[in-house]
Amino acid sequence: MATSQVTRYNNHIGGKWVESSTGRTYTITNPASNESVLAEFQTSGVEDALKAVDAAHEALTGWANTPAPVRAGVLFRAIEILRQRGDDIARTITLEEGKPLSDAQGEVKRSLNIMEYAAGEGRRMFGYTTPSELPDTVAYTMRRPLGVVAIITPWNFPLAIPAWKIAPALICGNTIVFKPASATPWSAIKLMEVFVEAGLPPGVMNVVTGPGGSVGNALVESPLVKGISFTGSTEIGTGIYAHGASLLKKIQCEMGGKNAVILLADADIDKALGGIIQGAFGSTGQRCTATSRVIVEEAIYDEFMEQLIDRTSKLKVGDGLDPEVDVSPLASKAQFDIVMEYIGIGTEEGAELVQGGHAVTGGIFDQGYYIEPTIFAGVQTDMRIAQEEIFGPVLTVLKAKDLEDAIQISNNVKFGLSSSVYTKDLSQAFEYINTVDAGMVHVNAPTLGGEVHLPFGGLNSSGVGHREQGTEAMNFFTEVITVYIDHAASARERARFI
């Protein structure tokens, strides 16, 4: 494995690029070609996390007291810099995470949209006034930043997920310790560089790279950290929420999904196929909103399966830098192993493997983590592949008698992030909207994504705490303060508060 002339990146703490206290570093490789070492990063420890917290705390008063429209000015400058560097950063995303370049470019665009929305909130940090029951009294609310917040993000969207946490946190006047996923720190460092050039004051945002366990736990336990925004697995998120809540911190966790598309007999099958294939195999299925299940009304099951297998078999697998590739490698050896294990489990459970199911090997494929787009038919609701998040290019297909049966199947999982129905019947669409257990629902559209000015998040094991994005982000990253001002000219007997 060649490591010559690999660039080493440091942590960013208190406005300076510094080495970790551990004296250790680690490298990341390209998942499309694991012989290619991309860069070297700091293996941080608890001491580094606490130094970053101290730096953020020291910078808090100055940033919180900076008028919100002035804070917005920094974000607007960061938007322009990110736009100028967009092609380079998109390529970085593909190199370290593996997703197709077109998806990476979309991630950059999403980040720009998020930052643009948040910057606009600098002139809309609204409270409200209301009549008081007391004479000569003004009553109103205002927003105040939480303080130091910890941002802990996953590897699958190494730019967009940090952006949709960092931008609202900054505009609300918080200071940040940012812990990116250890597998994808490169995009995080480049985002930090953007904010440094945009003029973000020292200590307002700090980046600490390396393993998540000890660093993350130190951030949760620090009494100076007042809020934590986490995206990742349900198991880790549940632990962070429970521990953080016991310490009276404000916690936001966006976690897993087992998202279903319901396909009814009256649907436009061609339109549905496009959304399902995009949802299941785009970004190699490594999205929390990816389509993991399709629940098909019996009357069209055979016709749908024939077309689904045909179209999926034509998808091109390869390096994400190839513009003709549809399905790129898994992001890591660990994720590759998990997905292959689930394919084995599905076969053992008796599901019918009708497409894919194998690692792609030979030539350049031997150097990467490639798996064929995979489809299981004949899936039963109690199978593990129908219940557990796989996070890869694996689609499970189930039959339903009608809409009511399909919704029961859809709801029969512990998750509730995103869902979709394809139908031309408006009454059935609204029945679905009103009864499906998902935080985000789509009609005649894929399960993917969401717009930056609307809440993002799920029910049950898919999320806990405030939703992300839109006004919900502002609600999470601020505390509401209620103000009463008695402006009477002299003392008087005051009515009692009820």
Burial of 232-256, coded b for 16+ CB within 10 Å and e otherwise, reads bebebbebbbeebeeeebbbbbbbb
DSSP element (H, E) containing 59: helix 46-64
The residue from 96, 121, 254, 389 that is catalytic is: 254
CB atoms within 10 A of CB 436: 19
Strand partners of residue 54: none
Contact 38, 10 (CB under 8 A): no
Tell me which residue of 82, 76, 72, 84 sits closest to 110, measured CA to CA. 82
Is 253 designated active site? no
> Tokens for 103?
């998806």
Q: Cβ distance 371 to 393 under 8 Å? A: yes
DSSP 307: H
The continuous run of DSSP H or E covering 263 comes out as strand 259-263
Calpha distance 484→135 (Å, rounded): 11
- Residue 424: alpha-carbon gap to chain centroid: 31
The reply to whether 254 belongs to the active site is yes
Closest CA to 485 of 142, 244, 12: 142
> By CB neighbour count within 10 A (0-12 exposed, 13-18 middle, 19+ buried), where does 277 fall?
buried
Report the run of H or E that residue 22 belongs to, with start and end: none
How far from the centroid of its chain's Cα atoms is residue 46's Cα?
25
Of the residues 288, 297, 372, 472, only one is catalytic, namely: 288
Length of the chain: 498
Residues 6+ apart with CB under 8 A from 283: 99, 100, 103, 156, 290, 328
Alpha carbon of 154 to those of 176, 243, 422: distances in Å? 17, 19, 30
- Give yes or no for a contact between 460 and 475, defined as CB atoms under 8 angstroms apart: no
What are the DSSP calls for 275-294, one per residue? HHHHHHHGGGG-STT-EEEE
Instruction: Tell me the pairing of strands 259-263 and 225-231.
Output: unpaired
**Tokens 């060649």 -> residue:** 2
Burial of 393: CB neighbours in 10 Å, binned 0-12, 13-18, 19+? buried
- If phi > 0 it is left, if psi is from -120 to 50 it is alpha, else beta; for residue 466 that is beta
Q: Which residues are part of the catalytic machinery?
A: 254, 288
